Amino acid sequence: MKRVLFVLVILLAFAGMVNSAEKKDTLPGKFQYANKEKGFEIVVPKDWENGENYYGTVFIAISPLENKKDTFRDNVVVEPFAEGAEGYYKANLVNMKKLLTDFKELKTEKLKINSKDAVSLIYSHRMGEVNIKVLVFFMVNGKRAYCLTCSADPASFDKYTKIFKEIAETLTLK
């Protein structure tokens, strides 16, 4: 588990070499990220580390460790795709079932985020020895699809769900 955390921290440290984004610390306790090229803005807690271009994602924000025993840094990732919107959610669900170890779909919901139709999915899976619980939001704007993935340790997932939903409500598609 420490290895996964270490790799995540190291890779985040090297993220952000290409910068087509605007970063602002203008909101109290919050950090606003805008990417004009990819067509979105999002606001995350200011004390979370953040970066760009991390393993193919456009933006990632990672929570601080809560204590010395904490082995997983809860995180949010934004990934826009230019592949088109048709069946985006369903295609991703098929891939998750195929590719994620011990994938289990827990809850699906249709909703609106900033007047855009969205689908949320809560699922669990395993990465190596680490169990992960995920809340993901799928949204479409024109021909571009967006995926906001929010991951947490299953023991802290309920605590972070409120934070993840607050972050999702700040996702603005341009």
Confidence check: pLDDT of 24 > 90: no
Q: What average pLDDT does the segment 124-134 reach?
A: 95
The count of domains in the chain is 1
Check which CATH number belongs to the domain holding 94 and give it: 3.40.1000.10
Range of the domain at 14: 2-173
- Structure confidence at residue 2 as a pLDDT band (50, 70, 90): very low
- The answer, yes or no, to whether residue 150 has pLDDT greater than 60, is yes
- pLDDT, average across residues 136-160: 93
Residue 98 has phi, psi (to 5 degrees) of -80, -40
Burial class of residue 5, CB neighbours in 10 A (0-12, 13-18, 19+): middle
What confidence score (pLDDT) does residue 92 get? 84
